[in-house]
Amino acid sequence: MRREIVLKIQRQERPGAPAAWQEFRLPYRPRLNLIACLQEIARRPVDAAGRAVTPIAYESACLEEVCGSCSMRVNGVPMQACSTLVDNLPDGTITLEPLSKFPLVRDLIVDRTPMFEGLKRVRGWIPIEGTYDLGPAPRRAPAEQGEAYDYSRCMTCGCCMEACPNFSGHAPERFVGPAPLGQAYYFLLNPTGRMEEGERLEALMGRGGITACGNAQNCAAVCPKEIPLTDAIARLNRQVNRRWLARLFGG
């Protein structure tokens, strides 16, 4: 049973600066999440030795696991700081580190641009012309709606990208990563999104596309929204193979 909360936080003032750990002790209260702990430290930025320190830089917005901005490594595992309760972590010191696969900005803040660039690579959107009324959307079977709903819950938090051994935001051309693949599948499920099927599958067939996935399956294991990313990747593989065979035999 905890009497106090001990947090060991990796600090780094700017990219390229040396990283160092700082320890903080907070009185235990039940049902505290990690963002509440960081807010406590922000109110009184004093480390465990009683020294005043600079406030910790971290990101958060929605505080209800919707925006995806508060991703960090908690005891080495990528997760959302807003929905992680101290009570659900093992007793002992809790370590907080920034995601390692993205360029560091400061302390617990990283630049997730490589993930958004990946979404651009796989055309992770549905094109519309202007903002006028496009009329009723195409009808979709409830089963297809249900499947699409799973993928619509992606909040681009980057946890799957962090856990993937093949993705690195420091060399994003090597593999686009699981989050953009999940969204490519999501937009191929959409009747309007399917109008761009050719361009999207061609992008997935290119360098750093779906063939760079090593099938480690870590992505689905850490996704806070339990998105079946490995199913999406398997189905995309089939679609890409069909297109490749059609191309080979002039279909």
DSSP symbols for 190-212: STTGGGGHHHHHHHHHSTTSGGG
DSSP3 helix / strand / coil % (the chain, rounded to 5): 35, 15, 50
Binding of residue 70 to ligand FES (CB under 6 A): yes
- We find the least distance from the C-beta atom of residue 70 to ligand FES, in angstroms, to be 3
Q: Does 65 bind ligand FES (CB under 6 A)?
A: yes
DSSP 33: B
Tell me the residue nearest to ligand FES as measured from the CB.
Answer: 82
Among 10, 22, 80, 84, the residue binding ligand FES under the rule CB under 6 A is 80
| 115 is a contact residue toward ligand FES (CB under 6 A) | no
Decide whether 10 or 156 has the Cβ nearer to ligand FES.
Answer: 156
Q: What's phi and psi for 52, nearest 5 deg?
A: -70, 135
| 68 scored as a contact of ligand FES (CB under 6 A) | yes
Q: Is 195 in the site for ligand FES (CB under 6 A)?
A: no
- For the four alpha carbons of 159, 163, 167 and 171, in that order, the dihedral sign comes to positive
Q: Report, in Å, the least distance between residue 9 CB and ligand FES.
A: 17
Whole-angstrom distance, CA of residue 49 vs CA of residue 23? 8
- Residue 62 touches ligand FES, criterion: CB under 6 A: yes
Applying CB under 6 A, the residues found at the interface with ligand FES are: 60-63, 65-70, 80, 82
